Chain A
């Protein structure tokens, strides 16, 4: 398997612009997670889905952030409008509830977002 795929790998945008980050989880996985990593706050869970349904979005910082999972093989995290404090590395991860690797989250390479 190709692993978790994220795009773009790097994104530079100006304050106020809309940003869309994309994730393709590992085929067959039923959980998908979005994380944000910054020097100040470390690794934070933003939202996670089970079978395409959002389960816990308590980590989403504010209404400017939204996430969708229209099908089992694709998810987006959108920031509108973006602000400089949103600059971070955003990771997507997926996992499978049952099976020999249960509990293990597989992370994508991340998207480094810079908002000027």
Chain B
């Protein structure tokens, strides 16, 4: 079945550091790919998405590119802030289905 694998956390960085959180997937067909973010005590929020190969999703300084050849959707940000501290989830939606398959989540902590 479809699956998503994220890099193990937790990840701790200093403010203004460069961030990469790796995400790879296994799916049949052409899935849509997502990054969701969960701030402490809250539900998940969509951060960005890409629906076809080579698409780049971007939001709030975060970017991820849909790479079909490597089945990856890595999340990047050039300069992180303390307010980016949260848990980040990579997810996919297989073609024709509405349900999402989530990765295990990566906890990110940014120190001032």
Binding site for B on A (CB under 8 A): 4, 31, 33, 42-43, 45, 48, 50, 55-56, 91, 93, 95, 97, 103-110
Contacting pair B46 A105 (CB below 8 A): yes
Contacting pair B44 A45 (CB below 8 A): no
Say whether B22 faces chain A, with CB atoms less than 8 Å apart. no
Query: Which candidate, B10-18, B66-74, B78-86, B95-103, is the interface stretch facing chain A?
Result: B95-103
When A43-B105, A108-B43 are in contact, do A103 and B99 touch as well, CB less than 8 Å?
Answer: no
Number of A-B residue pairs at CB separation under 8 A: 45
The CA-CA distance from A33 to B34 in the complex, in Å, is: 17
From B34, B43, B49, B99, A91 is in contact (CB under 8 Å) with B43
Contacting pair A103 B43 (CB below 8 A): no
What are 22 residue pairs bridging A and B, where the CB atoms are less than 8 Å apart in the complex? A31-B98, A33-B99, A42-B104, A43-B89, A43-B102, A43-B105, A45-B99, A45-B100, A48-B98, A50-B98, A56-B99, A91-B43, A91-B44, A103-B49, A103-B51, A103-B93, A105-B46, A106-B46, A107-B43, A107-B44, A108-B43, A110-B43
The CA-CA distance from A95 to B100 in the complex, in Å, is: 11
Say whether B24 faces chain A, with CB atoms less than 8 Å apart. no
